[in-house]
């Protein structure tokens, strides 16, 4: 039996990681990569954090065995992650309401969540923000969910369309899943206000929806706790939800693939039962998790001095991103590039969505060597004093008055 035809027709390149590959093979010296969501410093590199290097040094010293880890990851890691994500909000940790499992990155957490939900007999309808990270529809669609979308931004792309968002979710059926991004919305950089989070949570309760919170950028917006402000809305007694965390960005552990899925259940008994099914989903996918990245995260979070060092390093990345936002807005304004740029200054996280069409994105890449994601998503961290003038000139050329 030959391979099916579809397997022989090349799939299109990945809409984000494919750009990184195209960038690498672009021979022009004056190219600028503002595509993949990876933090870079002023020299254009993604350094290993000093706190990570120190944790790795300690791990090497005490390394004893490469034996399998528990399916759900080590108890120390799982406890540390629960405390990092939930702190002491609403007694979730103290009440053992969060079933946490280690996953390969945030994407792995989303995939394990998808499989767990299907195994558990959840609704097969998932509501996604429009726009969202392109791997969300791909991942959940291939896992077998039917996808619906809720509008996210008003025309102009700088503010959330609260009425349209709430209106769409009001039409969801009881049991439907809704994907929410906890902070630093990808691709827009625009997050709900605490008031809107409450309104969303009211609807979740009223319509009996099950939220999946993608929390890939904790600490990249305003701070570790500040970026968890969505929790105050959702963490109501009895309300159940899933959280998918990534430590690619905040620990700069991109290639270690370390993340976590937390299933927050109404009580400890339900959480324990949920964990048993999450373990089945993991076992059927990749059996048990790799250890190194999780060990690094656990070592840093468990040692107060090392943790303080990491928090300072994280604040350094966050501050640079915010300074870049300001410099970008100032430069666009000074150059008279037509557009509503001022709101970009106050947005959260690595991304700004410039609202460009495919032809403009293509011209940026082909004529100017500036790589941005579809729609004009820019990784603000990729801007440096050296490349900012070229980026602004290129934008001035492709954005017409
Ligand atoms: C992004 O959106 O650029 C990042 O989340 C990296 C990725 O995996 O797409």
pLDDT per position as a tens digit, 366-396: 999 999 999 999 999 999 999 999 999 999 9
Of 317, 378, 396, which is closest to residue 37 (Cα–Cα)? 378
Please tell me if the CB atom of residue 36 comes closer than 6 angstroms to any atom of ligand 1.
Answer: yes
Contacts of 183 (CB under 8 A, 6+ apart): 191, 215, 217, 218, 220, 221, 227, 228, 229, 230, 348, 349
Q: Which domains does the chain possess?
A: 5-48+307-398 (3.90.1150.10), 52-304 (3.40.640.10)
Q: What percent of the chain has pLDDT over 90?
A: 95
Residue 5 pLDDT class (50, 70, 90 cuts): confident
Question: If you average pLDDT over residues 198-213, what whole number do you get?
Answer: 97
Q: Report the mean per-residue pLDDT for the chain.
A: 96
Contact 78, 71 (CB under 8 A): no
User: Whose Cα sits closest to atom 4 in ligand 1?
Assistant: 37
Give the integer Cα–Cα distance in Å for 178 and 228. Answer: 18
Under 8 Å between Cβ of 372 and 35:
yes
pLDDT tens, position by position, 278-335: 999 999 999 999 999 999 999 999 999 999 999 999 999 999 999 999 999 999 999 9
| Cβ of 19 less than 6 Å from ligand 1 | no
Query: Could you tell me the pTM of the whole model?
Result: 0.97
249, 295, 310, 341: the active-site residue:
249
Our mutation pick for probing the ligand 1 site, out of 37, 40, 218, counting the most ligand atoms within 8 A of Cβ, is: 37
Residue 6 pLDDT class (50, 70, 90 cuts) = confident
pLDDT the model gives residue 153? 97
Residue nearest to ligand 1 atom 1, measured at CA = 37
Q: Is the peptide bond before 131 cis (omega within 30 degrees of 0)?
A: yes
* pLDDT score recorded for residue 1: 81
Is 70 exceeded by the pLDDT of residue 401? no
Cis ω before 187 (30° cut-off from 0): yes
| Confidence band of 63 (pLDDT split at 50, 70, 90) | confident
The residue-averaged pLDDT of 150-177 equals 97
Q: pLDDT tens digits, residue range 317-330?
A: 999 999 999 999 99
Q: Is the predicted pLDDT of residue 12 greater than 70, yes or no? A: yes
Q: What is the pLDDT of residues 188-201, one digit of tens each?
A: 999 999 999 999 99
Q: What is the mean pLDDT of residues 103-109?
A: 98
- For residue 244 and ligand 1, the question of a CB distance below 6 A is answered with no
């Amino acid at each position: 039996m030959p391979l099916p035809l579809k397997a022989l027709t090349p799939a299109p390149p990945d809409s984000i990681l494919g750009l990184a590959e195209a960038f690498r093979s672009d021979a022009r010296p004056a190219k600028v990569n503002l595509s993949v969501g990876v933090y870079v410093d002023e020299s254009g590199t993604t350094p290993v954090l000093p706190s990570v290097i120190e944790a790795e040094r300690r791990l090497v010293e005490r390394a004893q065995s490469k034996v399998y880890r528990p399916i759900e990851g080590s108890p120390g890691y799982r406890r540390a992650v629960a405390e990092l994500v939930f702190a002491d909000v609403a007694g979730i940790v103290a009440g053992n309401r969060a079933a946490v499992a280690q996953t390969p990155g945030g994407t792995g957490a989303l995939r394990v969540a998808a499989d767990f939900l299907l195994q558990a007999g959840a609704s097969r309808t998932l509501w996604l923000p429009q726009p969202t990270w392109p791997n969300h529809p791909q991942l959940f669609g291939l896992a077998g969910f039917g996808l619906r979308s809720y509008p996210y931004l008003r025309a102009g792309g700088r503010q959330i369309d609260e009425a349209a968002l709430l209106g769409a979710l009001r039409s969801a059926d009881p049991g439907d899943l809704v994907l929410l991004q906890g902070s630093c919305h990808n691709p827009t950089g625009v997050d709900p206000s605490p008031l809107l989070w409450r309104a969303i949570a009211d609807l979740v309760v009223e319509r009996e929806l099950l939220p999946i919170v993608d929390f890939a950028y904790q600490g990249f917006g305003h701070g570790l706790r500040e970026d968890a402000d969505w929790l105050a809305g959702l963490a109501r007694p009895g309300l159940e939800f899933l959280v998918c965390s990534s430590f690619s960005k905040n620990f700069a552990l991109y290639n270690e693939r370390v993340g976590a899925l937390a299933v927050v259940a109404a009580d400890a008994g339900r959480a324990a039962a949920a964990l048993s099914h999450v373990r089945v989903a993991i076992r059927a996918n990749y059996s048990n998790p790799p250890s190194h990245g999780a060990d690094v995260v656990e070592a840093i979070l468990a040692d107060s001095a090392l943790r303080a060092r990491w928090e300072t390093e994280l604040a350094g990345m966050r501050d640079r991103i915010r300074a870049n936002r300001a410099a970008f807005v100032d430069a666009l304004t000074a150059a008279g590039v037509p557009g509503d740029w001022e709101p970009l200054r106050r947005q959260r996280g690595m991304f700004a969505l410039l609202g460009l069409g495919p032809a403009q994105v293509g011209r940026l890449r082909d004529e100017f060597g500036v790589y941005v994601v579809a729609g004009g998503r820019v990784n603000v961290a990729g801007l440096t004093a050296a490349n900012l003038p070229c980026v602004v000139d290129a934008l001035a050329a492709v954005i017409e008055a």
